Structure 1
Amino acid sequence: MTQAPVFLEFVDSLWLDAHLATMADPDAYGIIKHGAVVVHAGRIVWIGRQADLPADAHQRATRVYRLGGAWLTPGLIDCHTHLVYAGNRAREFEMRLAGATYAEIARAGGGIVSTVKAVRNASETDLFRPSAKRLSAMQAEGVTTVEVKSGYGLDTASELKMLRVARQMDHELPPTVIATFLGAHALPPEYTGRPEAYVDLVIDEMLPAVAAEGLARAVDVFCETIAFTPAQTERIFIAAKRHHLAVKLHAEQLSDSQGAALAARFGALSADHLEYLSAEGAAALAAAGTVAVLLPGAFYFLNETRKPPVDLLRRKGIPMAVSTDCNPGTSPTTSPLLMMNMACVNFGLTPVEALAGFTRNAALALGMLTDRGTLAVGKNADFAVWDIDEPAELAYRMGGNPCRMTVKEGLPLPEEQP
C-alpha cells in the first residue's frame, strides 16, 4: 500500500472540488480541472488533481473546504496604486466634463494641489480610515497584495505620514501592503520655479528619513514634461540605490521622455503607463527584464486616445502587468475586475493576459514572484475563489463581483467555517 506523503500527516487546510487556474505558465491559465490544494503554515504544500490525493487526506487536515466546482486562482495583486489619500476630486471631474481646461481647474484650486492640501491637513487617523475602506473594497474582489505609493504630501512630514499609514494598513488589515516612496510625484506650490531645489529636498532629506524608518521598498518618480526630467529622475535613482531601495518609474504616459530606457538602465522593477513607449525603449525594458505596467483606468478616465503598444511589448517578450492605479484624480477605482475588462477592450489584451497582469506579472513588478502570483508548492496560500464557469469570465464581466472568498495565507477573509 502506498504511504501518504509526509506533508499530509499534519496540514492546516485542504481545498477540494475546485478548478484551478495556476497561472504558472506566462501564456496560459495553467488549468487543473477537479483540482485540490493542501495548505500548511500559510503555504501551499501540495497542488494537483483531486484524484491524486491520498484517500485519507481529508482526515489529516484541520479544515476541509469543499468549493463545489468553483474556480480558484492566485490572489490578485494590485501593483500600482495611490491608495492613501484624503478628500476627492469629484468637483474637478464635473468641471472637466463641462469644458474647463487643466489651467482653469488648477486656478480654481483643483488638480493634485487640492489632494496635497487635503493630505497635509489630515492626521494619520484621518488618512487611515478612507484608505482602509478602499483596501477592503479591493480585498472583496480577490486582492491579497497591494502596492501603495506616497506622493500627495510633497513635504517630508506629509510623505512620511502617508508611508506610515501604508505600514499601519499592512499591520492591521489582511492584504499585504507594499509601500513605495513617490516624493517626486509633482512640484509642490512652495517650490514653483525651483524644481532642482525640490529634488535636493527629496534626495537630501526625504529619502534618508524614509530609509531610516524602513518605510518603503522602492522609489518611484513621475518622469514627464509636467513633472520631473530624466536628469532629475536619474539623480533620485542614484540616491535610491545608495539607500538600497528598488526603483520604479511613471514613464511615457504623456510623451516619450525616454524614461523607459532610463528605468531599464537602473534595473527598475517596472515602468508604468507607457502609452508613448518607443521601440528603443521597449528593447531596453526587454534587456533589463523590467515589467510593463498598464493602467487602463487612467487611460479611460482622462479620455486618452494613445494606447500603449501592446503588440510591441508582446514581440519583445516584456511581461505586462495591469493595475487599478487607484487615485483621486485620474483613476478613482478599486476594481481589478473592471481594469481587466478595460485592458482587454481598450488595450487589446487577451483574458489570460489580463489575469496574468493581476497575478504572476504583477508579482514580478513588485519583485515578489518567488512567493506569490501563481499557485505552486512553496508559495503563499494567497488565493481567490470565484463563482464562474471559466477564467475568461473575470475579464468578460462588467459590474458584479463573482468572488466568493478571498484567502490570505490559507485563511478565508472573513473566516468561514469549513
Structure 2
Amino acid sequence: MRFDKIWLNARLATLAPERPGLGVIEPGAVAAVDGRLAFVGSTADLPSAWDAAERIDVEGRWITPGLIDCHTHLVYGGDRAHEFELRLAGASYEEIARQGGGIVSTVTATRAASEDDLVRQSLPRLDCLISEGVTTVEIKSGYGLDLETEARMLRAARRLGRERSIEVVTSFLGAHALPPEANGDNDAYIDQVCGMVPLLAKEKLADAVDAFCEGIAFSPQQTARVFDAAKRAGLPVKLHADQLSNLHGARLAAEHGALSADHLEYTDEDGVATMARSGSVAVLLPGAYYVLRETQLPPVAALRRHRVPIAIATDCNPGTSPVTSLLLIMNMAATLFRLTVEEAIAGVS
C-alpha cells in the first residue's frame, strides 16, 4: 500500500474507550492518502510492503486527535484592553459592567461592525487556534443583543468555518447581558430573546442556545424561559453557570438536559450530582479565572467523584479571557485547577 505521507515513531493519544487513560500506542504511526487518514495504529500493524511519498520521523513526539475549543466568544468588534488596567486597580467584573464597560461596551463596537468587518477582525484569532491544532471551535454570539446583530455575528461565524478548514459550531447567546435600550427591564428583553430563537433556528444560524445566569445578567427563571424557547425550536442548550455566585445554574442546566454547564466556580455538590445524572459536561475556563484574579476554584474533586466529564476551553473574548492559545489553557487547567495531564488532554479532545 502506498501512502502520500506517513508519520512514524510517534506516541499516539487515541483516547479510545477500550484502552486505559489516553489510549496510548507507542511506537505508533499515522498515514494519509488524499488528505484523509488511511492508517492510525501501531507501527507493527502497518500493512505489509507499505510505501510513502513522504516519511516524517516525529522522534517520539505526541500525536493527538484534533483539538476542540468548545467555548469561545471569538467573533466581536473592538477591544477592551483598557479594562485590564481597571482590574489591576481593583475594579471587579461587576463594577466594570455597571459602569458601562464589559459586555455592553463590546456590544456598541459589534453593532457598528459589518459582517465583513467581523470576519476580518476574527480571522487572526481563529488562525491562532488553528496553528495549535484546533480542528473544531464553538463560537457564540452575544455581543449584538438585537436580532440583526446577533444574526450578523452568527453568519460571520459560519463564514469563518468556510474560509478555513475547521469545523465551526455556533451558539446563540442573546441572553448574555441587558442592552442599554432595555432600560433595565430584564423580563421584556427575555421576551425578545425568546422570539429570536425560532427565527435563528429557521435560518440554521445557531446549533445551540446559551445564556448567562448570574446576578449581573439573568435569573434562573429568565434563563429557564430561554431554554424552553430553545426546546420548542429543537435546539440544545448550554449555560454560563455559577461563575461569580451560586445561583444553582449547574443544576438548572442539568435539569434542562444541557449539553454543558460552563465556568462552575461556585457550583455546589448538589449541582455536580445533578450534572452527573443528566450527562451534562463541565466546561472549565481557567483563562477567565486567571484574568479576573478569582480565588474560588471550580469543584474539580466533586466533578471527579461524580464522574462528570470535564472539558476545558479558551473562553476567547475581549474582556475576561483575551486568549487564543488552547495549549496555554491546558497548562492553566493543570497549574491553576490541578487537572492531571491526562485530564487536560482529554478535555480538549
- What range is the shorter-chain TM-score in? over 0.9
Matched, 1:247 2:237: yes
Alignment equivalent of 1:35, drawn from 22, 28, 38: 28
Task: Tell me the equivalent position of 2:42.
Answer: 49
Give the Å deviation of 1:243: 1.1
Matched, 1:156 2:147: yes
Inter-partner Cα distance in structure 2 for 1:354 and 1:335: 14
Matched, 1:336 2:326: yes
Return 5+ residue gaps in structure 2 as ranges: none
Inter-partner Cα distance in structure 2 for 1:115 and 1:313: 33
Inter-partner Cα distance in structure 1 for 2:164 and 2:74: 14
Question: Partner of 2:21: helix, strand, or coil?
Answer: coil
One-letter code aligned to 1:229? S
1:41 to 1:229, Cα distance in 2 relative to 1, 3 A: farther
CA RMSD, Structure 1 to Structure 2 (Å): 1.9
Would you say the 8 A contact 2:104–2:177 is kept in 1? no
Deviates more, 1:128-137 or 1:63-72: 63-72
Would you say the 8 A contact 2:73–2:140 is kept in 1? yes
1:304 to 1:163, Cα distance in 2 relative to 1, 3 A: same
Give the Å deviation of 1:105: 4.0
Would you say the 8 A contact 1:27–1:352 is kept in 2? no
Matched, 1:96 2:83: no
Matched, 1:278 2:268: yes
Task: Tell me the equivalent position of 1:219.
Answer: 209
Give the Å deviation of 1:329: 0.9
Task: Tell me the equivalent position of 2:16.
Answer: 24
1:104 to 1:307, Cα distance in 2 relative to 1, 3 A: closer
Inter-partner Cα distance in structure 2 for 1:229 and 1:176: 32
Would you say the 8 A contact 1:16–1:64 is kept in 2? no
Give the Å deviation of 1:90: 0.9
1:14 to 1:102, Cα distance in 2 relative to 1, 3 A: closer
One-letter code aligned to 1:306? Q
Question: Partner of 1:246: helix, strand, or coil?
Answer: coil
Give the Å deviation of 1:99: 3.5
> Could you give the per-residue CA deviations for residues 235-277 of structure 1, whole angstroms, max 9, x where no partner exists?
1111101111111111111111111111112211110001111
One-letter code aligned to 1:216? A
> Could you give the per-residue CA deviations for residues 384-412 of structure 1, whole angstroms, max 9, x where no partner exists?
xxxxxxxxxxxxxxxxxxxxxxxxxxxxx
One-letter code aligned to 1:89? R
One-letter code aligned to 2:288? A
Question: Partner of 1:355: helix, strand, or coil?
Answer: helix
Inter-partner Cα distance in structure 2 for 1:104 and 1:357: 32
Inter-partner Cα distance in structure 1 for 2:328 and 2:194: 37
**Counterparts in 2 of 1:131-280, with a 5 A limit?**
131-204=122-195, 206-280=196-270
> Could you give the per-residue CA deviations for residues 80-139 of structure 1, whole angstroms, max 9, x where no partner exists?
000001111111211221344557645764221110000000011111112110000011
Give the Å deviation of 1:192: 2.6
1:127 to 1:261, Cα distance in 2 relative to 1, 3 A: same
1:139 to 1:103, Cα distance in 2 relative to 1, 3 A: closer
Would you say the 8 A contact 2:261–2:282 is kept in 1? yes
Would you say the 8 A contact 2:94–2:216 is kept in 1? no
Task: Tell me the equivalent position of 1:409.
Answer: none
Would you say the 8 A contact 1:154–1:183 is kept in 2? yes
Q: Which has the higher contact order (CA 8 A, sep 6+)?
A: 1
Tell me how many residue pairs correspond in the alignment. Answer: 347
Question: Partner of 1:174: helix, strand, or coil?
Answer: coil
Inter-partner Cα distance in structure 1 for 2:97 and 2:175: 19
> Could you give the per-residue CA deviations for residues 199-246 of structure 1, whole angstroms, max 9, x where no partner exists?
110111x11221121011100010111111111111111110111111
Inter-partner Cα distance in structure 2 for 1:82 and 1:51: 44
Task: Tell me the equivalent position of 2:341.
Answer: 351
Inter-partner Cα distance in structure 2 for 1:103 and 1:219: 24
Inter-partner Cα distance in structure 2 for 1:43 and 1:247: 32
Would you say the 8 A contact 1:285–1:291 is kept in 2? yes
One-letter code aligned to 1:154? L
Inter-partner Cα distance in structure 1 for 2:226 and 2:147: 15
Give the Å deviation of 1:75: 1.1
Inter-partner Cα distance in structure 1 for 2:94 and 2:62: 48
Question: Partner of 1:74: helix, strand, or coil?
Answer: coil
Inter-partner Cα distance in structure 2 for 1:103 and 1:23: 40
Question: Partner of 2:64: helix, strand, or coil?
Answer: strand
Would you say the 8 A contact 2:3–2:51 is kept in 1? no
1:14 to 1:217, Cα distance in 2 relative to 1, 3 A: same
1:218 to 1:27, Cα distance in 2 relative to 1, 3 A: farther
1:262 to 1:65, Cα distance in 2 relative to 1, 3 A: farther
Deviates more, 1:177-186 or 1:20-29: 20-29
Identity within the alignment, %: 58
One-letter code aligned to 1:189? P
Inter-partner Cα distance in structure 1 for 2:246 and 2:123: 35
1:36 to 1:28, Cα distance in 2 relative to 1, 3 A: same
One-letter code aligned to 1:50? T
Runs of 4 or more, structure 1, over 3 Å off, are 10-15, 38-46, 99-109
